[in-house]
Structure 1
Amino acid sequence: MKVVITRFFEEFLMPGEIVSETGDSHDVRFATATLLMEVSRSDNDFQEIEREAIIDILVKLFDFSETEVNELIDLAEDAADEAHDLYSFTRLINEHYDYAAKKQLVKNLWEVAFADGRIDAFEEHIIRRISGLVHLANEDFVRAKILARESSS
């Protein structure tokens, strides 16, 4: 899987973009996409509107084209199928995102959950777990939910 991910980023990186030898600069983008995908699938009712929300979020966050994002989402979906836990993804978030970026990530997770017009208990549970794994304070978890709800209406 790592080879496929690396190949994707080598093909779609903008000219001159610096990538560390470990590939961390793109791994965190992949981790972000996978966490968004995990939320969208957590209620066992993945809808196209949730995929569209993920596309919008990733285009804004990483300045990818829609084609690049669709391929990244396909890879993230495969990774979500194979993932045994969230730790490998949240570890990268903790290593590369500052606190403000983590708050934005959790808000984005809520935006995906709100995309279909309702919050399922499984969606809330997985967002709460991710929020805890990235060490976000409960007040920021709640604030992210409120902001996402307001932006979805």
Structure 2
Amino acid sequence: MLKTLKDLFDNLNTSLSGSAALSPAEEAHTLQLATAVLLVEVMRAEPAMKDAERDVIIQALRRKFTLEDDEIERLFELAHDTARTAYDYQRFTRSLNDRFTQEQKINVIEAMWEVAYADHHLDAHEQHVISKVAGLLHVTHGEYIAAKLHAQESMRHKGMTDAKG
């Protein structure tokens, strides 16, 4: 199964931007990669990437997707590599807009806020990335703020943030 998953992940960069018909498994992996890339983009918004942010991304991917630990690690690494060469967010948000419900898109924004709060500091660049992605996902301002507050409260309960913002 891991080899099959790896093969699918290796072909996803093409499928994210292409219009070819995808199998259900390829479509699921495309959505997983798109979600993971957006989370990684929040982590990359600050010059110094921190382990706490990486850990929150891994936890978010575990909550959202039913994957084995090694598959989650591979997804994270692929997302990190893909994010380094991405020139915009639209190729990722397009996949999510086409296939996610509004609630699922709000959950992605909330997970992005959790990544931003993971290091106890909300950076302006992180906030800009999340705001941009929320707009591309057609998340309303009210939904955006509610996701932010929910993530902030969630991270506070986990003892991970004292951040204001």
Could you state the TM-score of these two structures normalised by the residue count of structure 2? 0.81
The answer as to 2:95 corresponding to 1:92 is yes
Q: Choose from 53, 57, 63 the match for 1:54.
A: 57
- Aligned pairs for 1:1-153 (under 5 A) are 7-9=7-9, 20=23, 23-153=26-156
Query: What root-mean-square deviation, in Å, do the aligned CA atoms of Structure 1 and Structure 2 show?
Result: 2.0
| CA deviations over 1:72-111 (Å, ceiling 9, x no partner) | 1110011001100000000001011010001111000000
Q: Structure 1 residues 55 and 34, CA, compared in 2 at 3 Å: closer, same or farther?
A: same
Question: In structure 1, how many angstroms separate the alpha carbons of the residues matched to 2:146 and 2:109?
Answer: 10
**Unmatched runs of 5 consecutive residues or more in structure 1:** 11-18
Q: Is the 8 A contact 1:55 1:66 kept in 2?
A: no
Aligned-residue sequence identity (percent) comes to: 35
| Number of aligned residue pairs | 142
Which residue identity lines up with residue 7 of structure 1 in the other structure? D
**Unmatched runs of 5 consecutive residues or more in structure 2:** 11-21, 157-165
Q: CA deviation at 1:136?
A: 0.3
Could you state the TM-score of these two structures normalised by the residue count of structure 1? 0.87
Q: Is the 8 A contact 2:45 2:129 kept in 1?
A: yes
Question: In structure 2, how many angstroms separate the alpha carbons of the residues matched to 1:61 and 1:137?
Answer: 22
Q: CA deviation at 1:22?
A: 8.6
